[in-house]
Amino acid sequence: MTLSQQRPHDRHDWWRGATLYQIYPRSFLDANGDGIGDLAGITEKLDHVASLGVDAIWLSPFFSSPMKDFGYDVADYCDVDPMFGSLDDFRVLVDRAHDLGLRVIIDQVLSHSSDAHPWFQESRQDRTNPRADWYVWADPRPDGTPPNNWMAAFGGRAWTFDARRRQYYLHNFLSSQPDLDFHHPEVQQAQLDNLRFWLELGVDGFRFDVVNYYFHDPALTDNPPMPRERVQPGNPQSYQFQRHNIEQPENLAYLERIRALLDEYPGATSVGEIAGNDQLPTMAAYTQGDKRLHMAYTFDLLDSTGDAGELHAVLARFAELGEDAWPCWALSNHDVERSATSWGEERALLALTVLCSLRGSLCLYQGEELGLPEAELAYEDLRDPFGINLWPEVKGRDGCRTPMVWEDAPNGGFCPDGATPWLPVDPRHRPLAVARQEADPGSLLSRVRRLLKLRADSDILRQGKQQLLAPAELPADVFGVVRRSGGQHLLCLAHLGRGGAAAARVRLDALVPAADGWSSLALPGMAAPQLEGRELGLEPGQAAWLAIT
């Protein structure tokens, strides 16, 4: 049963304002010495995760898979791949997490399977078998070319010809990841049954991979070209606007079926990944009300470099879409450059301080609490098909997926010294290892723990309303929000200037004219702000949270 079912007094909306911690199983801890992380390794290190004060873990895929896309190509939705362990190992993990007060959210890759999945193996045999229409099949054009112009995320056409059926099948990703046809009622039900299987095992919710990809336009209309200024020359898919291969109206109705299932398990939650060309409106639509997803995230903040104006633009656009939608903000995950690199290594704590000030739920990625920068890898070390196919214009995702560092040892304590990790440990990561930082009360790890506790203990930060402060109201390079709950107000400011940026002077009475007074909260790792009357001084790289009376 879910943790909320075990503890009936727990709030079923625990997810609102919660902090999640993403674990990439291949890279967390190798417990059996084969160079690949596993479920037993995760269980062994759950005490570290619990010590951060987070509310839940999100596990990236560990299901049976040929691993051509490292688990995002599922061959059996209801079993554990032997490289990660067994279902019994998973049950032990869930029990241990629940004992520590951690909820367990697992990935679900519903839109596509592996071509090794028995469903696809049957579907491709002929056009009359019971699962013939479970995947998206289409006849060639008269000249033998694919049925339309849709492009795949990892390069090339989104269609592959199958000689047995004499048809093309759709794959929005690798050719080994055929897309299921959600217009078929049996496909919808099969995936609901898959979700129920894991809920019965006690998971507390799901992270849904590319949740806006479930349905396609059955007319197979060509996608229009993307405006040239938005094209990424090294990525062929970016040359077209994905209007017809994803985000169809039927998706909303299916999300409501998923939510109805989750509602049968008190406290079970959902977080959706929104990819595509116009992500924020989709995130708002998919989380509005209480019949769709609980929360969702986009790549808008994940692609952030910590520019104050850009941050404001993303959050202002989302705010325009309504208070009803609920975001799950993150700066790092398994698909993007680590925030310690995109924001700057010296600003790793500043980045998380800004993140903790925002309205919504949060997600941290393993190693973010250590300030791990993006790993540098040679081409011959790459394992990610995205990077291999599009190198050197696109380096892929291996740089953020290298092993977690637990000790300052050759393999970072991830696996025994005699083993070869599946991706090399970046030597720059070793001095940032957990064991090294545990011994230092001034380390980033220690400060992140205090920062997360500060947020966890604050009703204003977890669930309060948010007023964005426009750039015109603030000095250059300063980002700010006012958080409100009841009669309480909290002003959160951060100077995001780089290099030789000048110190900023902020007129507080101009931001909150009705305020009678201010008191500064002690932020971990931040110097106390200079308060002179109703003026605040901020140095570049400094943040301040002020309680307003």
Active site residues: 209, 264
User: Which DSSP letter does residue 112 get?
Assistant: B
Tokens 């070390």 correspond to 381
Tokens 């054009």 correspond to 141
The H-or-E segment that residue 483 falls in is: strand 478-485
In sequence order, the β-bridge partners of residue 493 are 480, 544
First and final CA of the chain: distance in angstroms? 44
Spell out the residues 6+ positions from residue 174 whose beta carbon is closer than 8 angstroms to its own: 68, 69, 73, 152, 154, 385
How far is the C-alpha of 121 from the C-alpha of 143, rounded, in Å? 27
The H-or-E segment that residue 3 falls in is: helix 3-6
Residue among 297, 296, 282 at smallest CA distance from 251? 282
The H-or-E segment that residue 456 falls in is: helix 444-456
Residue among 200, 206, 185 at smallest CA distance from 133? 185
Cis amide linkage into residue 392, ω under 30° from 0: yes
For β-strands 159-162 and 167-170, DSSP reports them as antiparallel
How far is the C-alpha of 396 from the C-alpha of 234, rounded, in Å? 12
Residue 196 phi/psi, 5-degree rounding, is -65, -35
Residue among 24, 84, 17 at smallest CA distance from 367? 24
**3-state secondary structure (DSSP) of residue 96:** helix
Residue among 472, 459, 463 at smallest CA distance from 316? 472
SS (H, E, C) 191-238: HHHHHHHHHHCCCCEEEECCHHHCCCCCCCCCCCECCHHHCCCCCHHH
Q: Which tokens hold the place of 180?
A: 């299921």
> Would you say 109 and 209 are in contact if contact means Cβ atoms under 8 Å apart?
yes
> Would you say 267 and 2 are in contact if contact means Cβ atoms under 8 Å apart?
yes
How far is the C-alpha of 523 from the C-alpha of 36, rounded, in Å? 37
How far is the C-alpha of 213 from the C-alpha of 229, rounded, in Å? 25
